[in-house]
Structure 1
């Protein structure tokens, strides 16, 4: 299966201007999109959406960006951030006091296998997050072995 085949249907799609206020808005949209899935690491989703949206705002040269959140496929979710720049993300070496320069390192650690696809209008940065445990039915109670037993 190719990396692009890991996409489910679209849960959320939104276009944002390349402004600082767009970053928390994109983070909130992603958080709402995955709220029904308790096995999704919501903190990691919010962190990586913040990082990729901030990179678009700071480095894509304007023109806006699009966030697409895909439904789970198996035990993974895929998120795309499209911007209007054809320039590949540039890895920076951040020192302890730097407030920027860690976005790609965070992607490497939390979403290994992330990739960039050049499009007709710019590029897409795509990352996949794997669940640590994906129940068959996300609304089902935990299995009996994980429930406390009566004395």
Structure 2
């Protein structure tokens, strides 16, 4: 099985990042022949939007978005400079509207988690895996 990878270096900023990542994801999925307007594409773009937004809100902005595609599967990886791990807050602890990104990860992905960025580099990589289109 051949894996294809797309990488978008973001540098930790927040301005316009969510839209750039959604567009980048749509283009990559179109290149990989995922059907435009399909539920699989919509789910992938929604989840990229959510995890990038979380990196902007809670980690100072994402450093990089990596999409790894092989037949039947998409892996999304978002790195940031914060060692703080994501956690789902109960509704009574949410201080502003929203806070459903991690709930969506639980419901729409085949799995998700975090790993440390690497030796000598602070931060983490949040990853998620989605099934390809039917």
Larger radius of gyration between Structure 1 and Structure 2 = 1
**2:94 is the alignment partner of 1:93:** no
CA contact (8 A) 1:11 1:33 kept: yes
Question: Once structures 1 and 2 are overlaid, which stretch shifts more, 120-129 or 62-71?
Answer: 62-71
Say which structure, 1 or 2, has more relative contact order (CA 8 Å, 6+ apart).
2
Secondary structure of the structure 1 residue equivalent to 2:27: helix
Look up the match of 1:27: 22
1:142: which partner in 2?
none
* Residue in 1 that maps onto 2:52: 53
CA RMSD of aligned residues (A): 2.3
Task: Give 4+ residue runs of structure 1 displaced > 4 Å after superposition.
Answer: none
Aligned pair in 2 of structure 1 residues 9, 38: CA closer, same or farther (>3 Å)? closer
TM-score under structure 1 length normalisation: 0.72
Higher strand share: 2
Give TM-score scaled by structure 2 length: 0.80
Q: What residue ranges of structure 1 are gaps of 5+ in the alignment?
A: 1-5, 134-151
What is the number of equivalent residue pairs in this alignment? 124
CA distance in 1, matches of 2:127, 2:106: 12
Unmatched 5+ stretches in structure 2 = none
